[in-house]
């Protein structure tokens, strides 16, 4: 059952252009969701919860980061909420989002 869920997440993940690893109780994740939502884009949230395999995946994909959120736009690893917010202020976020439209 767990494998099936992971496979479903895996196949969804491969088709999504914007992915956020998150937990449901994380305030930074909520702020990141709010910012992306304000941009009018769709994104997939992978709730890592206490799933050790998903945390391993998050660390591997983000070069060893150990916090949520971790946000990916296309092949680009944006980082956490601070990084997303900085990218928004610099204008880079809009460019990245344009590339995956």
Ligand X SMILES: N[C@@H](CCC(=O)N[C@@H](CS)C(=O)NCC(=O)O)C(=O)O
CB 78 within 8 A of CB 88: no
Binding mask 68-97 for ligand X (x = CB under 6 A): xx----------xxx---------------
Taking the C-alpha atoms of residue 99 and residue 101, their distance in angstroms, rounded to an integer, is 6
Is 56 a binder of ligand X (CB under 6 A)? no
Residue 90's alpha-carbon distances to 18, 24, 63, 68, 85, in angstroms, are 19, 28, 23, 22, 9
Of 8 and 53, which CB lies nearer to ligand X in the complex structure?
53
> Would you count residue 26 as binding ligand X (CB under 6 A)?
yes
CB of 84 to ligand X, least distance (A): 8
Q: Are strands 76-79 and 44-47 parallel, antiparallel or unpaired?
A: unpaired
Q: Which of 2, 15, 27, 40 binds ligand X (CB under 6 A)?
A: 27
CA distance 27 to 7: 28
Say whether residue 67 binds ligand X (CB under 6 A).
Answer: yes
- Output the residue with the shortest Cβ distance to ligand X: 80
91: its two tokens: 């204008």
Q: How many residues bind ligand X (CB under 6 A)?
A: 9
The site for ligand X (CB under 6 A) is made up of: 26-28, 67-69, 80-82
């Amino acid at each position: 059952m767990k494998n099936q869920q992971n496979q479903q997440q895996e196949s969804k993940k491969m088709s999504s252009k914007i992915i956020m690893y998150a937990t449901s109780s994380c305030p930074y994740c909520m702020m990141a969701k709010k910012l992306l939502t304000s941009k009018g884009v769709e994104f997939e949230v992978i709730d890592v919860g206490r799933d050790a395999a998903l945390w391993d995946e998050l660390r591997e994909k983000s070069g060893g980061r150990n916090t949520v959120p971790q946000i990916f736009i296309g092949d680009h690893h944006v980082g956490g909420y601070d990084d997303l917010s900085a990218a928004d202020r610099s204008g880079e976020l809009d460019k990245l989002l344009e590339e995956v439209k």
